Structure 1
Amino acid sequence: MRSTATRLHTRLSRLGTTHFHLPPINGIRAGPRDPENPTLPNQRQLYQRIGRCLAFGCDVESTNYAARLLKTITADWRNIQAIIQGFYDPVNVVYTGRLRDGEHTRRPWHSITRESNLAYIAEKSTMRFLDFIVETAAPEDKRRWEVLRDHPSKDEQLAVIDISNELTPLRPRSFPFLSLMPQTVSAYSRLYANDYRNTNHFKIKTVIFSHTHLVRIADINVMLKHYTRVFTPSPEFPSPWLGRELERMVKLISNEAERSAALKEGYRIMGAVDKLEKATWKDPNAAEDFGSAAP
C-alpha cells in the first residue's frame, strides 16, 4: 500500500494551480503554546568552536574526543532543538529531503514572497506527519483516514489553502537566500492551530533545518481545510471523528519531561565543547602547534 505522502501529494500540491476565493480567516485559535525555547547555539556555532580547537592543535586524545563530539552533534542536535521547541518524537516524524535548485517565486502570498522550494518541503513534511497520525490512530479512525486519503471525492477532500513563511522580529526575512541552493534539509511538523469545529481549518507548523548551513532556515505554516458534502466553502459539516483526531494531534507535542531531558542533553554537549576548548586554546599553558595529532 502506498504511503499517505504519495496518496495526498496531488491534493496537497493544489496550492500552485487552484485558487479558492474564501473570506478572511478570523478567530483561528492558538495551538499549543510554543514551549519556552531556551537559547542554544546552532549546529554551525558548535562546529566552529570545535574547528578552532582542532586548528589550534590537539593531541591524539583530544582529536578523538573532538571526533566523537562531532558525530554526536551531527546525529542528535537537530532532534534536541526540535524537542525543545515542542515537536513530538522527532526521530520518527522527521522528513529529510532535498531542496531543489532554482529561483524562488516572485508572486506575493499574503504580502510574503513564497519560496517554492520551502513550500515543497513543508508539504512533504506535513504529509509525513499525517502518515504518523494514520499509523497511530485507533482502528476505526485509521479506516476513516484511509478513506479520506485513498478515495477522495467531490463530497469530501482535504486540501491546502495557504502556505506562508512565518516572519519574526529576529528573522524578518527568514533567511530566504539560504534556501535557494540545492541542499539536504530536515523538517519537523506538528499541529499549530485548530479551528476545525468552527471553520474546518487547521494549521500545521513546519520548521526546516539545513544540513549545509547547519542552522534553522525557515518556519512554514501550512493551512489545511477539510471540505465536506461539496467542494465549496459552504455548506460544511465538520466530521466528529476528525475533530477527535485533531484533539489527539493537539496533544502530540513533547512534554515537559522530554523537553527537560533534551535541554539537559544539549547542555551536556555544550559542556563537552567547553571541556575541549579548555584543553586546547583556552589552556593558558597550551602552545599553538597546528595539528600535533596529525600522522
Structure 2
Amino acid sequence: MRHATAARQALPRRVRTQPPQTFLLAVRSRLHSTSSAWPDDDTRRDESGTTSTASRRPRRRTSYFDRRDYEEEVEEGGTNEQFRRYLRQPKPTPKFDGAYTVTNRVGKCLAFGCDERQTAEAARIIRKVARDWPRLQMGKSNALIDLRATWRARIDVKKKDETWEPETSWGIVPRPFPQPQIVESAVVKFLDHAMRTAPPDEQKKWLRTKKLQRKFWSVESHDIAHPLTAPLYFRSIQFLHAASQKRVRTSQNVIAFTRLYKIEEFDDERVRFYLRVMMWSLKTNKFLTEAEVAVIYKPLKGHGLNWLTRELTRLLDHSDPRVRKELDDLLHAVERLERETWDNPWAVEDFGSASPAQDPATDAQDTQSSWLQ
C-alpha cells in the first residue's frame, strides 16, 4: 500500500486528482506514449535519450505458410511442397515456333519430288499443322489448352471504334495491342474453367466468390452506407513482347491461351498472383504477343485460404505429356519425309527447275561430249 501511495504521489497533480477510472486510463495512456518505438517524425530515441534518424523498418507481412495455425506436415511432393517450390521458381515462357517452320520443310520435300505415298503423308502433315498447331505449341507451357478455357476474338480494322484510339488529336499513338479487353476476357474465361473443373467443395467457394463479384458490380454505382468490397481485382496488364504494329493492327482471328505464371503475395489479407495470356494469330498461324495480368484476391470471411492453396496448386501445371508426344511424332514425321525425298537417286536438287537426276555414267558421257564440241 505504501508503494502504491508513493507511485501515486510521483504522478503529476492533474493525474492524482482524477477519479480511479480516469486515473487508470491516464496511466495506461502515459505508459503507451512512453513505450512508442517509432514516433510520427520517423525518429526514435535510444536508451540514453538521444534521438536518431535511422530508417524505419518496414512492417513484415505475415506469410500464409509462416503461421503455425495453418502449418501441416506434408511429405515431399505434397500440395504445400509443390506450392512453395513454384513460388520460388516460376515457369518461364518457352519459345513458340510458327507453322511456317514445318510447312516450309514440307514444301521443300514436295519440290524435291514425292511419290504417291509421300504426297499423301505431306498432305496429312499440313492438315495436322493447320488444325492443331496452336494447341501443340501451347502444350510446351503450363497453359490451359482445353478449347473451353480459351478465348477467341477477331481484330477487325474496318470496324475499329474509340477503344482503338481514344483520342485522335495526336493521330495514332502506337500501343502494344489494339484491344486489351481481349486479355481481360481471356482471364475471365480461365477463371470460369477453373470453377467448372474444381472439386465440389472448392467449386462452392468459386461460386460464392463469383456471386459476390457480381453483387459488387450491380451496386457499384449506388450510394450505399456500407460499400461492398470486390473479391477480385485486375491491377495491371503489361504486354511483354513489342510486336510490330503491322502484325497486331491487321484484320485477323486470334485465340488466347491463359496460364498461371507465379504467386507473388499470399497472406491472410490478400493474394496476388500473375496470369499470362498468350495470343496466337489464326491468320498467320504463329505466336502474336503475350500479356501479364496481376490479379488481386481478397479472402472471404469464414472461408480461409486452404481451398485457394489447393486450387492454385491444381492450376499451376496443365502440361499434358500426350500433347508433347503428339508434337514430337509430328516433327519426326517431317524428318522421315525429308530423308525419304532428299536421299534418293531421282531427287531434284534445285527444287523442280532442273531435269530428273541421271546415272553417273550418262553424266560423264554428256560432259565429255560437251568438251569435244
**TM-score, normalised via structure 1 length:** 0.68
TM-fit CA distance, 1:267 = 1.9
| 2:14 aligned partner | none
Q: Note closer, same or farther for the CA distance 1:241–1:166 as it changes in structure 2 (3 Å cut).
A: farther
Distance 2:343 2:193 in 1: 46
Q: Note closer, same or farther for the CA distance 1:127–1:283 as it changes in structure 2 (3 Å cut).
A: farther
TM-fit CA distance, 1:205 = 0.9
Letter in structure 1 aligned against 2:340: A
1:64 matched to 2:138: no
| 2:214 aligned partner | 150
TM-fit CA distance, 1:221 = 0.7
TM-fit CA distance, 1:85 = 0.9
1:123 matched to 2:184: yes
Distance 2:89 2:244 in 1: 25
Q: Note closer, same or farther for the CA distance 1:121–1:214 as it changes in structure 2 (3 Å cut).
A: same
Q: Note closer, same or farther for the CA distance 1:180–1:281 as it changes in structure 2 (3 Å cut).
A: farther
For 2:238, which of 137, 140, 164 is the aligned residue? 164
Q: Is the 8 A contact 2:176 2:245 kept in 1?
A: no
Q: Is the 8 A contact 1:40 1:266 kept in 2?
A: no
Distance 1:98 1:116 in 2: 11
Root-mean-square deviation over aligned CA pairs: 3.4
Distance 2:291 2:96 in 1: 21
Secondary structure at 1:156's aligned position in 2?
Answer: coil
| 1:133 aligned partner | 194
Distance 1:35 1:255 in 2: 14
For 1:1-20, what aligned pairs fall within 5 Å after superposition? none
Judge which range, 182-191 or 261-270, deviates more: 261-270
Q: Note closer, same or farther for the CA distance 1:74–1:245 as it changes in structure 2 (3 Å cut).
A: farther
Q: Is the 8 A contact 1:189 1:207 kept in 2?
A: yes
| 1:34 aligned partner | 91
Distance 1:210 1:132 in 2: 22
1:220 matched to 2:291: yes
Larger radius of gyration: 2
Distance 2:276 2:103 in 1: 28
Secondary structure at 1:116's aligned position in 2?
Answer: coil
For 1:46-195, what aligned pairs fall within 5 Å after superposition? 46-101=102-157, 113-117=175-179, 119-137=180-198, 138=200, 139-152=203-216, 153=219, 154-157=227-230, 158-167=232-241, 173-194=242-263, 195=265
TM-fit CA distance, 1:164 = 0.6
Q: How many residues align?
A: 242
Q: Is the 8 A contact 1:84 1:254 kept in 2?
A: no
Letter in structure 1 aligned against 2:335: D
Secondary structure at 1:217's aligned position in 2?
Answer: strand
Q: Percent identity?
A: 21
Secondary structure at 1:160's aligned position in 2?
Answer: strand
Q: Is the 8 A contact 2:154 2:251 kept in 1?
A: yes
Q: Note closer, same or farther for the CA distance 1:160–1:116 as it changes in structure 2 (3 Å cut).
A: farther
| Structure 1: 5+ residue stretches without partners | 1-26, 168-172, 228-236, 291-295
Q: Is the 8 A contact 2:266 2:272 kept in 1?
A: yes
Greater RCO (CA < 8 Å, at least 6 residues apart):
1
TM-fit CA distance, 1:166 = 1.4
Q: Note closer, same or farther for the CA distance 1:269–1:226 as it changes in structure 2 (3 Å cut).
A: same
TM-fit CA distance, 1:242 = 7.7
Judge which range, 185-194 or 241-250, deviates more: 241-250
TM-fit CA distance, 1:270 = 0.8
1:64-122 CA-to-partner distances (Å, cap 9, x unmatched) read 21111112222332222222211245343222221232596699xxxx944232x2221
| Structure 2: 5+ residue stretches without partners | 1-60, 62-85, 168-173, 220-226, 354-373
Secondary structure at 1:163's aligned position in 2?
Answer: strand
| 2:32 aligned partner | none
| 1:254 aligned partner | 317
Q: Is the 8 A contact 2:272 2:294 kept in 1?
A: yes
Distance 1:242 1:177 in 2: 48
Q: Note closer, same or farther for the CA distance 1:162–1:41 as it changes in structure 2 (3 Å cut).
A: closer
Distance 2:316 2:165 in 1: 32
Q: Note closer, same or farther for the CA distance 1:223–1:240 as it changes in structure 2 (3 Å cut).
A: farther
Secondary structure at 1:148's aligned position in 2?
Answer: helix
